[in-house]
């Protein structure tokens, strides 16, 4: 796609999203919404925030399960990168923190970035698996709004395809690593070598026990998210049932792989409120709950990310620019940095 066309499409999509959010904002009774937020129980909100942090800890452990086979055995490093990446996701669009935490781990552990990307791809895959399993089960056994009911066939089809993919990853023959060859000089040669490292690592870390551990951790992470949503609703005196909470969680995460706005602010509130209204709850009160949920997801997590990895948060964007300018893979420059005199 031509850069000019790509830029035009990006601007057009942004304007459409902003327009939708403006229309949504004009229909909100902000006085009632603010009053509902102010009357919320602080003790319950604090407990919900701690539960949300626990869900991110579980996700960090899930990534560590796949990082260990490639030599990244430090759980604190995986945690720091996970929280810092989550913090960046809260201020960037399109989940920019995911790419940045690859750079952080690759540099800190002196591991090829292609290998770290492979482990992150598997970790993200199991995040999707947990969501699809929850969506398929909820659509089968719970009474959901029509919008989510329509997604059921796609969820079941996705679950089948994911099952086939996991089976193939476990059954595929092991790739023997070739003797180190000179680094390719052309961009397509470097891209091919990068892809080769990525595919080889996927096969290397794929095992039944790791997949089982990742699946159980995914279920735990999503269960903690349900608890976070439920506790926040009760803190704001919105009597959301468990079924309604699960439906709201599914709705706001339908496009969880992409974030159209920083932290998905605006779109999150619209999706949550629409689901709550479908279950007969007050719209303005539901919007207040949605803001409180996002406040818990953004403020404490971003602060923890800064506290645990300040050099990552403040220098991640500069590092990504340096990577592009240097035209060298992360791992190559890490080795160069280690050899350079101090």
What distance in Å separates the CA atoms of residue 260 and residue 267, rounded to the nearest whole number?
A: 8
Q: What is the pLDDT of residue 153?
A: 84
90-146 pLDDT, tens digit each:
766 656 678 878 888 998 899 988 999 999 999 999 999 999 888 888 877 888 787
Q: What is the pLDDT of residue 82?
A: 92
pLDDT at residue 31 above 70?
no
- Say whether 52 sits in a helix, a strand or coil: helix
Residue recorded with tokens 């000089």: 185
What distance in Å separates the CA atoms of residue 265 and residue 270, rounded to the nearest whole number?
A: 9
Distant-in-sequence contacts of 230-234, Cβ < 8 A, 24+ apart? 231/44, 231/45, 231/47, 231/48, 231/51, 232/40, 232/44, 232/45, 232/48, 232/289, 232/292, 232/293, 232/296, 233/289, 234/41, 234/44
Highest mean pLDDT among 7-16, 52-61, 234-243 belongs to 52-61
pLDDT at residue 48 above 90?
yes
243 close to 226: Cβ distance less than 8 angstroms = no
Nearest to 301 by CA among 116, 59, 53, 102: 53
* Alpha helices (H) along 150-207: 152-171, 187-205
HSE-CB of 39 using CA atoms within 13 angstroms: 13
Q: What is the pLDDT of residue 305?
A: 80
Distant-in-sequence contacts of 250-255, Cβ < 8 A, 24+ apart? 250/131, 250/134, 250/135, 250/138, 250/144, 250/148, 251/145, 251/147, 251/148, 251/275, 252/290, 253/131, 254/151
Average pLDDT over residues 253-273: 70
Q: What is the pLDDT of residue 21?
A: 46
What distance in Å separates the CA atoms of residue 139 and residue 290, rounded to the nearest whole number?
A: 22
Residue recorded with tokens 């260990």: 68
268-315 pLDDT, tens digit each:
888 898 899 999 998 888 988 998 898 888 888 888 887 876 766 555
Looking at per-residue confidence, does 60 or 85 come out higher? Answer: 60
Residue recorded with tokens 């645990």: 308
Q: What is the pLDDT of residue 232?
A: 93
Q: What is the pLDDT of residue 165?
A: 87
Q: What is the pLDDT of residue 324?
A: 40
Average pLDDT over residues 252-272: 70
pLDDT at residue 318 above 60?
no
* Greatest extent of the chain over all pairs of C-alpha atoms, in Å: 68
Domain positions in the chain are 42-337
- Provide the residue count of the chain: 342
153-193 pLDDT, tens digit each:
888 888 888 889 889 888 875 554 544 556 666 777 778 77
Question: Chain-wide mean pLDDT for the chain?
Answer: 78
266 close to 93: Cβ distance less than 8 angstroms = no
């Amino acid at each position: 796609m031509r850069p000019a066309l790509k830029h035009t499409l990006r601007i057009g999509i942004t304007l459409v999203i902003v327009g939708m959010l403006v229309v949504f904002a004009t229909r909100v009774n902000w006085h009632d919404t603010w009053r509902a937020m102010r009357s919320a129980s602080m003790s319950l909100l604090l407990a919900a925030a701690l539960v949300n942090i626990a869900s991110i800890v579980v996700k960090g452990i899930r990534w560590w399960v796949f990082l260990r086979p490639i030599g990244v055995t430090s759980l604190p490093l995986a945690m720091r990168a996970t929280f810092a990446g989550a913090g960046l996701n809260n201020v960037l669009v399109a989940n920019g923190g995911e790419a940045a935490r690859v750079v952080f781990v690759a540099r800190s552990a002196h591991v090829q970035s292609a290998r770290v990307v492979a482990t992150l791809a598997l970790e993200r895959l199991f995040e999707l698996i947990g969501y699809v399993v929850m969506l398929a089960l909820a659509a089968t056994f719970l009474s959901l709004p029509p919008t989510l009911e329509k997604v059921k066939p796609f969820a079941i089809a996705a679950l089948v395809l994911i099952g086939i993919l996991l089976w193939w990853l476990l059954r595929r023959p092991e790739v023997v690593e070739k003797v180190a060859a000179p680094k390719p000089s052309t961009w397509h040669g470097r891209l091919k070598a990068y892809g080769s490292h990525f595919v080889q690592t996927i096969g290397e870390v794929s095992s039944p026990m790791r997949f089982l551990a990742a699946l159980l951790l995914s279920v735990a992470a999503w269960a903690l998210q349900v608890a976070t949503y439920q506790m926040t609703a009760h803190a704001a005196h919105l009597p959301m049932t468990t079924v309604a909470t699960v439906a709201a969680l599914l709705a706001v995460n339908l496009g969880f792989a992409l974030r159209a706005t920083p932290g998905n602010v605006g779109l999150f509130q619209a999706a949550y409120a629409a689901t709550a209204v479908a279950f007969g709850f007050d719209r303005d009160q539901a919007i207040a709950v949605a803001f409180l949920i996002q406040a818990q997801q953004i403020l404490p997590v971003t602060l923890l990310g800064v506290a645990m990895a300040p050099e990552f948060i403040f220098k991640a964007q500069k590092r990504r620019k340096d990577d592009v300018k240097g035209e060298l893979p992360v791992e190559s420059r890490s080795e160069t940095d280690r050899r350079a005199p101090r």
